[in-house]
A and B are shown apart, each in its own frame.
Chain A
Amino acid sequence: MSLKLEDVTYTYSPGTAYEMHALEHINLEIPNGQFVGIIGHTGSGKSTLVQHLNGLIRPTLGRVLYNGEDIWKEGYPLRELRSHVGLVFQYPEHQLFETDVITDVCFGPKNQGLSPEECRKRAEEALDHVGFPKEMYEKSPFELSGGQKRRVAIAGVLAMNPDFLVLDEPTAGLDPKGRDEILDQLASLHKTRGISVVLVSHSMEDIAKYVERIIVMNHGHVAFDDTPKKVFAHYKELEKIGLAAPQMTYIMHALKEHGMDVDVTATTVEEARDTILAALGSQKKNGKKGAEVC
């Protein structure tokens, strides 16, 4: 299974004075089972890009392929595609509408034509995956905290059993613990169910910690597409296009400049800790004190 964009261009208001190319000649392939991060400054084309992935918008030029089939060819079952590629928008909790949590999560599978029992089973599985407590199933979604609402909204998409789960800034506005919990649950979903996760985020630290591949968008183009370590090695270029590297990258470069023998590609706190400890350890072995080495 894979999602592929072939030479995709998207133009807003073509032929008018407001014509704007949001995407230009994008070529990408997201294979099954990948955990991908998309970063880019506001207006770089991230959201336009993800809306192409489940056929919400139609490319002005180029093709979108799901499992090798053009999703815009005549007679292609777009509705079915949207069950395979689940899209969670920014602030998805604004889309909750049912009277209780479980009915809200059942809405997707119900529309897929599943029996009430099957819907309930799917909904319970999905809520379980996002760590939503059973005893709150009958509560009104509007009584929940921000973090819980967000979980219910994500479960609503998961209940459709997608193979690809695309999330546009799923942690915006959540407290640090809520942010970590949701990202940990996505990582475990990716691991246990093997689904592909595409995460759009403004937090470089989160991206560094979770994804295996980063796509960097800039002015409607793909600026970088590589592993986090390789992408963040270009931290100076990233800054020029309105982004940044994780804090750890800056610390590693500063230490290196002071002469400490650390691995500058460390992007998470754990990696940074290990390489600093290793560097300090070898300093000791050589009988040098900190000040002599730095």
Chain B
Amino acid sequence: MKSARMQKKAGNNVMGMIRAAGLGYEYLRYEEEGQEPEVTKAIEDVSLEIQKGQFIAVLGHNGSGKSTLAKHINALLVPTEGTMWVDDMKTTDEEDVWKIRQKAGMVFQNPDNQIIGNVVEEDVGFGPENLGVPTDEIWKRVEESLTATGMISYRAHSPNKLSGGQKQRVAIAGVMAMQPECIVLDEPTAMLDPNGRKEVLRAVRKLNEEKGVTVILITHYMEEVVFADRVFVMDNGKLVMQGTPREIFSEVEKLKELRLDVPQVTLLAYELRKNGVDLPEGILTIEELVNALCH
């Protein structure tokens, strides 16, 4: 019923670019032979809406269903319950799968698993080449996306000589060259050093701010979430919290219960408040804390 009603509304451009209604995904686990397989629900009854151009962060402990949710956005997985729409296309409609994958590109955790070219620019050109883009246009896109991620000076380098952060930016450029409207990043900084993390975050924020690309960032680093427009928190396959970073990080105790954390500056402000210092809730940056303490 619910999905039929939502379908009628589809086509209306005011609605979000990515929408999930009652989304569920179960898989069967086979134990011994002859035994009934066990049903495991990776996500359950998730409904959400993401507008074009938004920067979204997704938090949740290991096994909370974040990655399963992310894989639904570009139809790597299709729901066993409910519906996922990407730009009004249902991910369950097989004829739309390739269009959906062009709209929503994905970047994974390990940069070494995602790079296939021997030269940086060839790697970035692989995606558009597969889409049948004309050669001149491929080179144009390669140049544009390497410039956007700050990797243009490495275009003739071999990817295996790059640092982790640089490889991840090549992977992001490879996705950008397919000109998606939305990019899903599944813990892109988990394996990087502090500088690599900064480089990747800067590149992603730039794509969002300057090119209007919708960003969905899955991360365990709370500091990376501060700049998001909206935060979704997953637990046991369910969407349990959503709001602005300030709203989410005001709930220090609740996040700890969910095996999560808050940025260290937020935690310090929270500890000071507990000790009677007059500070507003949900402080997110060093500047905010310094201003609040000194004025």
Contacts and interface: CB of A to CB of B under 8 A. Distances in A.
B193 A243 contact: yes
A55 interface: no
Tell me if A's interface is mostly helix, strand, loop or mixed.
helix
A248 B197 CA distance: 18
A172 B264 CA distance: 18
A73 interface: no
Contacts of A179: 220
A294 B275 contact: no
B62 A242 contact: no
A156 to B, nearest CB: 20
**Band of interface residues on A:** 35 or more
Contacts of A242: 193-195
A170 B222 CA distance: 19
Interface in B45-77: 60-64
B192 interface: yes
Interface stretch (B94-102, B146-154, B285-293): B285-293
B195 A41 contact: yes
A242 B286 CA distance: 21
A158 B256 CA distance: 29
Given A178-B259, A280-B277, A202 B294 contact: no
Contact of A43 (B163, B222, B286, B293): B163
Given A145-B63, A202-B194, A258 B294 contact: yes
Nearest to B275: A277
B265 A251 contact: yes
B35 to A, nearest CB: 14
Interface stretch (B120-128, B173-181, B208-216, B266-274): B266-274
Contacts of B267: 269
Nearest to B259: A177
Contacts of B197: 202
Contact of B259 (A175, A258, A276): A175
A42 B277 contact: no
A246 interface: yes
Interface in A253-294: 254-255, 258-260, 269-270, 272-273, 276-277, 280, 290-291, 293-294
Contacts of A291: 294-295
Interface string A188-205: 000000000000001011
Interface string A57-84: 0000000000000000000000000000
A260 B194 contact: no
Contacts, number: 119
A173 B190 contact: yes
A42 B165 contact: yes
B289 to A, nearest CB: 6
B294 A173 contact: no
Given A247-B223, A276-B272, A277-B275, A174 B62 contact: yes
A35 B109 CA distance: 29
Contacts of A273: 268, 271-272, 275
Interface string A122-156: 00000000000000000000010111000000000
A42 B294 contact: no
Interface string A103-117: 000000000000000
A244 interface: yes
Contact of A147 (B62, B194, B222): B62
A224 interface: no
Nearest to A143: B29
A277 B294 contact: no
A270 B61 CA distance: 24
Contact of B220 (A173, A244, A251, A259): A173
A254 B194 contact: no
Given A272-B268, A273-B271, A273-B275, A290 B194 contact: no
B15 interface: no
Contacts of B64: 175
Nearest to A39: B193
Contacts of B293: 255, 258, 260, 276, 290, 294
22 contacts: A41-B163, A143-B29, A145-B62, A173-B190, A173-B220, A174-B220, A175-B260, A176-B220, A242-B193, A255-B290, A260-B293, A269-B264, A269-B267, A269-B271, A273-B271, A273-B275, A277-B272, A277-B277, A291-B294, A293-B294, A294-B293, A294-B294
| Top 7 A-B pairs, shortest CB-CB distance | A294-B294, A177-B259, A176-B261, A175-B61, A242-B195, A247-B264, A146-B62
Interface of A: 40-43, 90, 143, 145-147, 172-179, 202, 204-205, 242-244, 246-248, 250-251, 254-255, 258-260, 269-270, 272-273, 276-277, 280, 290-291, 293-294
Given A40-B193, A173-B220, A242-B193, 6 more contacts: A41-B163, A42-B193, A43-B163, A177-B260, A255-B293, A260-B294
